[in-house]
């Protein structure tokens, strides 16, 4: 047999496959699907758990913006990575956008906490300490924010950890226990670290 006459397609699933297996170990799909999937109406063509895993693998490997996720998965063996047949023509930015909307509506912090708990349980991690800290993220352009709307944060000037006092910003707060993130949230750009850290601790 002439090896040059064989039509072969190769795929490199390295990081993606590893990330998916780590997510499987903490029951990512089961947790996400139970909170996002409606009990009435037609089920999604691709489960929310799978869509979530696709977004996370992209962010951890070679981050593409939402509207280019179809390009990221263009040469991937989706069935080999995610263990289910996935029609690549269904990977539209609308589908990923709907996932983010449903995730927000279901309560992202609650879902994240459940997944963190699963990680502690799966790997027998004993919590010895919890540390809270914040970082700042420079925001570019103009932003129209709601007045007193639930869940809205203030994009404004504050103490910039990126040394950009000339730019508005948001802050991101993280709680970490034994190297595992247990809480995370966006914060007002001018929130004082001491107030945030003390309240959360």
How does strand 169-177 pair with strand 130-138?
antiparallel
Task: Please tell me the predicted confidence (pLDDT) of residue 113.
Answer: 87
Task: Please tell me the predicted confidence (pLDDT) of residue 133.
Answer: 86
Kindly give the confidence (pLDDT) of every residue in the chain, 201 residues in length, as a single tens digit, with 9 standing for 90 and above. 676 777 767 666 678 999 999 999 999 999 999 999 887 778 888 999 999 999 999 988 877 788 888 888 888 889 989 999 999 889 988 999 999 999 999 988 889 889 988 998 998 988 888 888 888 989 877 766 555 555 578 888 888 888 888 888 999 998 888 888 888 888 899 988 888 888 877
pLDDT tens for 134-147 read 889 898 777 665 55
Alpha carbon separation from 185 to 45, 91, 98 (Å, rounded): 30, 27, 20
Task: Please tell me the predicted confidence (pLDDT) of residue 201.
Answer: 74
Taking the model in full, what pTM does it have?
0.74
- Which pairs from 93-99 meet CB under 8 Å and 24+ separation? 93/66, 93/67, 93/69, 95/46, 95/51, 96/51, 96/54, 96/55, 96/66, 96/69, 97/66, 99/36, 99/48, 99/51, 99/52, 99/55
């Amino acid at each position: 047999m002439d090896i040059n006459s064989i039509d072969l397609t190769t795929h490199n699933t390295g990081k993606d496959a590893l990330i998916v297996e780590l997510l499987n170990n903490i029951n990512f799909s089961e947790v996400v699907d139970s909170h996002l999937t409606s009990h009435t109406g037609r089920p999604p063509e691709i489960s929310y758990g799978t869509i979530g895993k696709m977004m996370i693998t992209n962010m951890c490997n070679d981050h593409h913006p939402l509207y280019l996720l179809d390009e990221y998965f263009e040469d991937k063996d989706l069935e080999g990575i995610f263990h289910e047949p996935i029609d690549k023509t269904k990977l539209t930015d609308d589908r990923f956008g709907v996932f983010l909307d449903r995730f927000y509506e279901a309560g992202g912090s609650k879902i994240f906490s459940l997944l963190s708990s699963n990680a502690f349980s799966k790997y027998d991690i004993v919590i010895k300490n919890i540390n809270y800290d914040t970082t700042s993220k420079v925001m570019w352009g103009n932003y129209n924010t709601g007045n007193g709307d639930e869940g809205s944060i203030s994009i404004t000037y504050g103490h910039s950890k990126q040394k950009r006092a000339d730019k508005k910003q948001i802050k991101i707060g993280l709680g970490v226990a034994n190297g595992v993130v247990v809480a995370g949230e966006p914060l007002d750009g001018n929130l004082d670290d001491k107030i945030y850290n003390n309240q959360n601790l």
